[in-house]
Amino acid sequence: MVTVSDYAGLKPAWCPGCGNFGILEALNRALIEMKIEPHQVLLVSGIGQAGKLPHYTRGNVFNSLHGRPVPPAIGAKIANSGLIVIAISGDGDAYGEGGNHFLHAARRNHDITYLVHNNRVYGLTKGQASPTSDVGFITKTTPYGAASPINPIALAIVSGASFVGRGFAGDIDHLSNVIKKGITHRGFALIDILQPCISFNHKNTFQWYQERVYKLEDERYDLSDKKAALEKALMWGEGIPIGIIYEENLPVYEDQLPALSEGPLVKQKIDPRRVEELLAEFM
Amino acid sequence: MLLTGNEAISLGAIAAGCKFMAAYPMTPASSIMEYMAAKSKDLDLVMVHAEDEIAAINMAIGAAYAGVRAMTATSGSGLCLMVEGIGLAGITETPVVIIDGQRPGPAVGLPTRTEQGDLQFVLHAHHGDFPRAVLAPAIIEDAFWVTVKAFNWAEKYQLPVIILTDQHLASSHATVDPLDLSQVPIDRGTLFSEKEDDPLEYMRHRVTKFGISPRAFPGLGKALVVTDCDEHDEEGHLTEDAGERTAQVQKRLRKLIPLEKEIGTPQKYGPKKAETTLISWGSTYGAIHEAVDILRKEDTSVNMLHLNELWPFPSKAVADAVSKARNSYAIENNATGQLARLIKAETGYDVSGRILKYDGRPFTPAYIAQAVRKERC
């Protein structure tokens, strides 16, 4: 039996009241309810306040460089396809420094889950604009206001991700369910998480989101309808949809690798004599 | 057998049990990823054509962390993008093999020509202090064995190993005696055993006498494998503690002590004692070897000292040779004598001359012989 104590990690060094606490709780709850043990999970994070999350729970951890959780997560998933691989980023990590990896991981449809703590500001470096900051958001690095934000949900859909969801750090039950579905989904699952930053983003507060988010589960639409999903992706402002926005079964990158049909690479024996058949080709 | 340098590297990697490669195409390294991809089905390996070099090295590091022998291959300006990964492998102590097929730089330089311009770069690429190994095959057969060695060293010492080839070696063909696969050693280094030790006590970065912490692989047992590109404690969790920081830096650098002992003596050719010693590294071996023969036929007293294993630097052997020769000439396919500078830095000795070529073309024996004659005048 998997319990809360299995996922008791180090004491978080986040600001009291940070949206990250809700995300940590939602992830732990998802793993516990799915009866996943910590040694079955690999958490690969980048740099930023979100990147610290794996230290505050338990599991295998590869805390990688800024913007880079996705590539090592892919390498580890291919090396051991038995691992449940969850990559963890913030908005700067995922959509700024790691933008290219995000697009191509979605396109190739790797079987990993990607949680992006999107607080629309840089927290770790203390309050600069991020790729998802509002137009005109004034910070020390954008004294005349930030440029237009990217739309990660729409970007993931058009890039070929097979699961695109959005959660809210202030609704732990709902977020936990979206995370569970993302983990269960085979293929690249992006979950963009609306995360209030109490220190540096005084606009997108818990209250601001609470007044605007609504659950897509209350509506009915075909989740594999890309056009309908894109319409939801473009909604922002007075009504912000949360839940699964797009989901389709698409070919999974790892399923197309013939080497993995023999089981996880890491369990395969090394035998130099296998090269004998190749040498014959050079005689 | 008729092999190119890149084919020899690919075969060496597969023989050594490399199961994962990620790379981005770049001349002269692309044929390695193409070969690995072509053989991926029959030999049960994976080659990922990544979106860029940054992704490539980070994917390889992820695969290696998860317990699979992994590599990437590129050329100098691709390696520029990979530099962050060299340090990531350094601090997370992840074994990874990086092939740098050199071509003339900087930037795009002469993209389809040859040069040995990356030696000083790969010795220093990345900030901070951490151990690495640098190898440079001399001939095509070497490329096979050096690659095997690189995978063993990477895992034994848990660090990045860089193999320096160049367009000249990568793309040239040579006849090679059949490779004896029974001589391929596989040494995966110190591994954690859950039968002998309690997995709940496992610490990925445990401080040990020679700095080598037993490796466990995520998901294969109950041990949690935790590592971080931040400075970390023995368990792998990020820390700001001054004592933990110092202990981890020292632990990583201590790995150089046993590694230094593995570095082979540089190859020698010609008489034991000679007035002139030609010093070289990497793919210039063949041309210099032949130049020594030409010069000796003219009764010139000359021999050669050739380095295949460049880092950790074999200081004693090189200092010995340079201090004993009346003339010592570094012969290098670069503009500044990068090995000569390394010799000065590591031994304190200056070579007496530098024979350099940086027009993108490899040396010929006649070119070297003529240059030596000129230097000796």
Same domain for B170 and B290?
no
B48 part of contact set with chain A, CB < 8 Å:
yes
Domain range enclosing B122: 2-183
Q: Do B46 and A78 touch (CB under 8 A)?
A: yes
Best mutation target among B18, B24, B46 (most A Cβ atoms within 10 Å) is B46
Which residue of chain B comes nearest to A270, CA vs CA? B17
Compute the nearest-CA separation of A265 from chain B (Å). 7
DSSP bridge pairs for B330: B279, B354
DSSP bridge pairs for B163: B99, B135
Asked whether residue B209 is domain-assigned, the answer is: no
Asked whether residue B252 is domain-assigned, the answer is: no
Q: Which residues of B touch A77 (CB under 8 A)?
A: 62
pLDDT in tens, B56-76: 999 999 999 999 999 999 999
Could you give the C-alpha distances from B47 to A268, B33, B59, B176, in angstroms and in order?
16, 7, 11, 26
Domains and their CATH numbers in chain A: 4-282 (3.40.50.970)
Which residue of chain B comes nearest to A283, CA vs CA? B1
Asked whether residue B241 is domain-assigned, the answer is: no
Same domain for B176 and B309?
no
Question: Per the structure, how many domains does chain B have?
Answer: 2
* Spatial distance between the Cα atoms of B97 and B81, rounded to a whole number of angstroms: 16
Q: Which residues of A touch B1 (CB under 8 A)?
A: 279, 282-283
Task: Evaluate the omega torsion of the peptide bond into residue B28 and state whether it is cis, within 30 degrees of 0.
Answer: yes
Distance, CA of B71 to chain centre: 12
Which of B154, B183, B212 represents a domain boundary (last residue)? Answer: B183
pTM value > 0.95: yes
User: If 0-12 CB within 10 Å is exposed, 13-18 middle and 19+ buried, where does residue B352 land?
Assistant: middle
Q: Which residues of B touch A101 (CB under 8 A)?
A: 51, 54-55
Same domain for B173 and B289?
no
Same domain for B178 and B276?
no
Closest residue by Cα to residue A18 from A146, A121, A149: A121
pLDDT in tens, A8-22: 999 999 999 999 999
* Spatial distance between the Cα atoms of A119 and A105, rounded to a whole number of angstroms: 22
Asked whether residue B372 is domain-assigned, the answer is: yes
Q: Do B58 and A275 touch (CB under 8 A)?
A: no
pLDDT band at A266 (very low <50, low <70, confident <90, very high): very high
Q: Which residues of B touch A44 (CB under 8 A)?
A: 62
Beta-carbon contacts of A183 under 8 Å, excluding residues fewer than 6 positions away, are A30, A34, A36, A84, A86, A113, A189
Compute the nearest-CA separation of B89 from chain A (Å). 10
* Spatial distance between the Cα atoms of B364 and B106, rounded to a whole number of angstroms: 24
Q: Do B44 and A265 touch (CB under 8 A)?
A: yes
The minimal CB distance from A71 to the residues B44, B59, B199 is found for B59
Asked whether residue B114 is domain-assigned, the answer is: yes
* CATH of residue B306: 3.40.50.920
Q: Which pLDDT does position B375 carry in this prediction?
A: 87
Q: Which residues of B touch A109 (CB under 8 A)?
A: none
Give the CA angle between residues B75, B79, B83 to the nearest 5°.
170
The values of phi and psi at residue A268, to 5°, are: -85, 140
* CATH of residue B61: 3.40.50.970
Q: Which pLDDT does position B96 carry in this prediction?
A: 98
Q: Which residues of B touch A273 (CB under 8 A)?
A: 181-182
Query: Would you state the structure tokens that stand for residue B253, as one six-digit string?
Result: 């650098």
Half-sphere exposure of B287 (CA within 13 A, CB side): 24
Closest residue by Cα to residue A228 from A247, A251, A212, A249: A247
Which residue of chain B comes nearest to A51, CA vs CA? B228
**Buried-exposed string A84-116: b where 16+ CB fall within 10 A, e elsewhere:** bbbbbbbbbbbbbbbbbbbbbbbebbbbbbbbb
Q: Which pLDDT does position A262 carry in this prediction?
A: 86
Q: Fill in the amino acid letter for B159.
A: L
Q: Which residues of B touch A65 (CB under 8 A)?
A: 58, 84-85, 88, 229
Q: Do B14 and A60 touch (CB under 8 A)?
A: no
Q: Which pLDDT does position A66 carry in this prediction?
A: 98
Compute the nearest-CA separation of A207 from chain B (Å). 33
Query: Would you state the structure tokens that stand for residue B327, as one six-digit string?
Result: 């003339």
Asked whether residue B152 is domain-assigned, the answer is: yes
The values of phi and psi at residue A7, to 5°, are: -110, 20
Which residue of chain A comes nearest to B48, CA vs CA? A75
Asked whether residue B217 is domain-assigned, the answer is: no
Interface of B with A in 184-203 (CB under 8 A): 184, 186, 199
Q: Fill in the amino acid letter for A47.
A: I
Interface of B with A in 228-257 (CB under 8 A): 228-230, 236-238
pLDDT in tens, A209-236: 999 999 999 888 899 999 999 999 999 9
The minimal CB distance from A79 to the residues B2, B20, B41 is found for B20
Asked whether residue B99 is domain-assigned, the answer is: yes
Q: Which residues of A touch B42 (CB under 8 A)?
A: 277
Same domain for B153 and B39?
yes
B88 part of contact set with chain A, CB < 8 Å:
yes
Q: What is the pLDDT along chain B (377 residues), one digit of tens a residue?
A: 999 999 999 999 999 999 999 999 999 999 999 999 999 999 999 999 999 999 999 999 999 999 999 999 999 999 999 999 999 999 999 999 999 999 999 999 999 999 999 999 999 999 999 999 999 999 999 999 999 999 999 999 999 999 999 999 999 999 999 999 999 999 999 999 999 999 999 999 999 999 999 999 999 999 999 999 999 999 999 999 999 999 999 999 999 999 999 999 999 999 999 999 999 999 999 999 999 999 999 999 999 999 999 999 999 999 999 999 999 999 999 999 999 999 999 999 999 999 999 999 999 999 999 999 998 87
The minimal CB distance from B45 to the residues A61, A259, A283 is found for A259
Closest residue by Cα to residue A195 from A117, A92, A254, A132: A117
Same domain for B8 and B142?
yes
Q: Do B181 and A44 touch (CB under 8 A)?
A: no
First to last CA, chain B: 42
Give the CA angle between residues B153, B95, A253 to the nearest 5°.
135
